[in-house]
Amino acid sequence: MNKTKVSIIGGSGYLAAELLRHLLPREDVEILRISSKDHIGRNIGAVHRSFWGLTDLVLEDIPPAECAAGADIVFLAMPHVTTAKVAMSLFDLDIRIIDLSGDFRLNDLRDYTRFYAPEHPCPERLGTFTYGMPELYAEQIKTARYVANPGCFATCIATSLLPLARAGALQASTVRLVALTGSSGSGVHPQAGNHHAVRSNNIKAYKVFNHQHTPEILQTLKAAGAGDIALDFVPVSAPLSRGMMSISQLDLPGDYSEDQLRRLYSDYYQPFPLISVLPEGMTPEVVAVKNTLRIEIGLDIKTDPGSGRRTLCAIAVLDNLIKGGAGQAIQNFNLMTGHENAYLLQQPGMWP
């Protein structure tokens, strides 16, 4: 079998672990190298404990270009800014890149400097990566050289509003949005704000109206047909290790009934069987999609009896490390390598 050769840079992070979980069992993939700064020379199973005894792969301290040499596709699984600096040393190579960081998702440098860092290491590259959301850009991803994998919140929230945007029903609205995330969304390195002592048994809002995925969501929805919309986004850290839920509310334009709205969504996601639009009476639950590539979407409409004003509540759930990160990167990898429907993590999650 002709194997696709793969390298991973940033090997000790949570998304690298999730990439390996999906790539290691595949017969059509050869993992060439995994580079690391913190765990040089250690077996993958000593760092990501679920791999102990399953692989001889070792984390190597090698420059990015050496790690990528001979690979068909390189996954970048590092923090932003570091990633862009690493990417700069790869652009001259004959390789394709799937970047999981936020460094190449945004088209507008002003958004990047406001939400990520005062300077972008290679601003001329903004807008040159294909945005890796298969539900919107599958055809472009197939031939893309560089793919920017979407953020976890961005995937969850945009997916819950995409059919509306596509239908032209998301015009001049403000989306009022609360979204909850598990702690693995903050990555492997503990900090004061996400340490177990302050996150477990606790719920707290952070980066209120100021989360870095806000411009990414707006960019995606506008590209899909949304008008001059605004997002009032309040992120919340929840006492979970994996999983997230977004709850979006907006004034519903037009005269959709709940049934019509569900049909609009179901029709849009019909080619994407891992996205479920739930029937009336069911609401999305994080545990139902944890450990899977699936997204559940719930839709409810309230009509105010006095004013007649109609409010839509769109709720979505996903596993931040899978559909919100590495699993979506594997979907993109599959599209790029012509294995569209293979290895798509079809299994149900664990219940409860």
Ligand X SMILES: NC(=O)c1ccc[n+]([C@@H]2O[C@H](COP(=O)([O-])OP(=O)(O)OC[C@H]3O[C@@H](n4cnc5c(N)ncnc54)[C@H](OP(=O)(O)O)[C@@H]3O)[C@@H](O)[C@H]2O)c1
Q: List the catalytic residues.
A: 152
Nearer to ligand X, 59 or 314 (CB): 59
Contacting residue, 28, 30, 38, 285, with ligand X by CB under 6 A: 38
Min separation Cβ 20 and ligand X, Å: 11
Contacting residue, 8, 13, 29, 135, with ligand X by CB under 6 A: 13
Q: How many CB atoms lie within 10 A of CB 68?
A: 28
Interface stretch with ligand X, choices 75-83, 88-96, 252-260, 294-302 (CB under 6 A): 75-83
Chain centroid, CA 243 distance in Å: 12
- At 9, list the tokens: 């840079």
If one asks whether residue 100 binds ligand X (CB under 6 A), the answer comes out as: yes
Min separation Cβ 60 and ligand X, Å: 10
Min separation Cβ 132 and ligand X, Å: 11
Pattern 121-160, binding to ligand X, x per CB under 6 A? ------------------------------xx--------
Interface stretch with ligand X, choices 34-42, 113-121, 172-180, 233-241 (CB under 6 A): 34-42
Give the Cα separation of 213 and 49 in Å (integer).
Answer: 30
Q: Burial code of 271-305, b = ≥16 C-beta within 10 A, e = fewer?
A: eeebbbbbeeeeebbbebbbbbbbbbbbbeeeeee
Q: How many CA atoms lie within 13 A of 318 on its CB side?
A: 31
If one asks whether residue 62 binds ligand X (CB under 6 A), the answer comes out as: no
- At 297, list the tokens: 């979407």
If one asks whether residue 48 binds ligand X (CB under 6 A), the answer comes out as: no
Contacting residue, 82, 113, 171, 311, with ligand X by CB under 6 A: 82
Site size for ligand X (CB under 6 A): 30
Nearer to ligand X, 76 or 169 (CB): 76
Give the Cα separation of 295 and 118 in Å (integer).
Answer: 34
Pattern 323-342, binding to ligand X, x per CB under 6 A? -xx-----------------
CA distances from 89 to 93, 107, 109 (A): 8, 21, 21
User: How long a stretch of residues is the chain?
Assistant: 352
If one asks whether residue 64 binds ligand X (CB under 6 A), the answer comes out as: no
DSSP state of 31: E
Min separation Cβ 135 and ligand X, Å: 16
If one asks whether residue 187 binds ligand X (CB under 6 A), the answer comes out as: yes
Contacting residue, 3, 145, 189, 204, with ligand X by CB under 6 A: 189
CA distances from 279 to 296, 299, 314 (A): 11, 8, 13
Dihedral sign (CA 297, 166, 339, 58):
negative
If one asks whether residue 183 binds ligand X (CB under 6 A), the answer comes out as: no
Q: By C-alpha distance, which of 268, 279, 263, 289 is closest to 349?
A: 289
If one asks whether residue 195 binds ligand X (CB under 6 A), the answer comes out as: no
Nearer to ligand X, 73 or 264 (CB): 73
Q: By C-alpha distance, which of 32, 41, 42 is closest to 64?
A: 32
* Footprint on this chain of ligand X (rule: CB under 6 A): 10-16, 36-39, 77-80, 82, 100-102, 151-152, 184-185, 187-189, 320-321, 324-325
